[in-house]
Amino acid sequence: MAFSASHNTLSVPLIIFTFVSFLFLVPVLSVSIMLDSSDRNPANQTFRPRQELRRMKRVMGFLRKVNKPAVKTIQSVDGDVIDCVVSHLQPAFDHPQLKGQKPLEPPERPKGHNSIDVITQSFQLWRNSNESCPEGTIPIRRTKEKDVLRTSSIRRFGRKFKRGVRRDTMSNNHEHAVAFVHGDEYYGARASINVWAPRVTDPYEFSLSQVWVISGSFGNDLNTIEAGWQVSPELYGDNYPRFFTYWTTDAYQATGCYNLLCSGFVQTNNKIAIGAAISPRSSYNGRQFDIGIMIWKDPKQGHWWLEFGPGLIIGYWPSFLFSHLRSHASMIQFGGEIVNSGSMGYHTSTQMGSGHFAGEGFGKASYFRNLQVVDWDNSLLPLSNLHLLADHPNCYAIKAGKNNVWGDYFYYGGPGRNLRCP
């Protein structure tokens, strides 16, 4: 099967086609599930007091579950409320296998890990208040009533929604510009991701840039660990780029969630709030900012750890959450993804990356740089046999390169709707 990537044709095995097809069919938010015209037009709805009362009770119950008691609360300038929660009371410890435990100490980082960042790092907007969470606590972005009420399914709030796998990826509304490696055993990945605030033109669309760590048969047993930044008006209620995580062990069916919206990921860091807005962001022909993301498997205890920025270890996904990823990953993927809802009858103008094509280069197009993988010996290595895929290259493109400073890198993204992408 041939893929088009930056107008170059690449031949890859059918299993890659199957997985990429699967990814294209998974919407980022479960909250878009089963929305019809009446869901989006309150004027057409019939007010049913008893049903509304039941729904509000479910909303309040969910909020009590995910919003833990705070020892300190910080108001961010962007409207977020950050709760400082005692670390062993965070949502992860609602999990039966974690009850009564406390977060682990960080493990040894992969060999070859060093700070080679020459671009200014981005951090988070809530830290501009000069407030911080005390030692022994973690910052959690508070989920508000209005966040949950934007959804049509409280049960699946903050989760991806799986639809049946189809082979004809071009007919699906998820569009990608990605680079990936496969065919080996992988124990982690690292990249620096350029941060922008792409325009999202429909409240039920999104734009994200992330790293995927993947294993499984690409059916119902798919395991993924994901981290990066995303703009998602539906999940967050605004258009800020936000640091996010995700995991699943059953192809997004019943397990996993974004950020700390379920029991799973264990946060250990008191300086970074998962789901909070990233600041500053890059500007066209202006200063460029990026975030470092590293995910790796601790060879001693087997948990998957996450690092953000220049050495900030955020926490870990316990190994017992997974089946295939309990041993290793079979694919690593880097890149951008958007949703094209077609709500206006033509291609969306939702941007990917900076909103400019890969060919425009530094300061104009968004990039991933210093791509690496972690091997069985817990060593960071350069990539081999890197594949590129842009499934709608007239809308969003990708172009790779390599040099002594950035190692393996690529530019990616685009504006969406244009003369060649009607």
For residue 150 the two structure tokens come to 């934007």
3-state secondary structure of 360: helix
The DSSP symbol for 91 reads: G
360 is catalytic: no
Nearest to 215 by CA among 185, 189, 174, 180: 185
User: Catalytic pick from 175, 205, 226, 234?
Assistant: 226
With left for phi above 0 and alpha for psi between -120 and 50, is residue 353 left, alpha or beta? left
Residue 152 buriedness (CB in 10 A; 0-12 / 13-18 / 19+): middle
DSSP string computed for 116-184: ---SEEPEEGGGGGS--PPTTEEEEEPPPHHHHHT-S-GGGTT--------S-GGGSSEEEEEEEEEEE
Nearest to 161 by CA among 339, 31, 30, 341: 30
DSSP string computed for 224-238: EEEEEEEE-HHHHSS
145 is catalytic: no
Is residue 331 within 8 A of residue 180, CB to CB? The reply is yes
Q: How far is CA 332 from CA 77, 143, 168, 291, 346, in A?
A: 36, 31, 22, 18, 32
Residue 351 buriedness (CB in 10 A; 0-12 / 13-18 / 19+): buried
Query: 81 φ, ψ to 5°?
Result: -115, 125
List residues with catalytic annotation.
226, 337
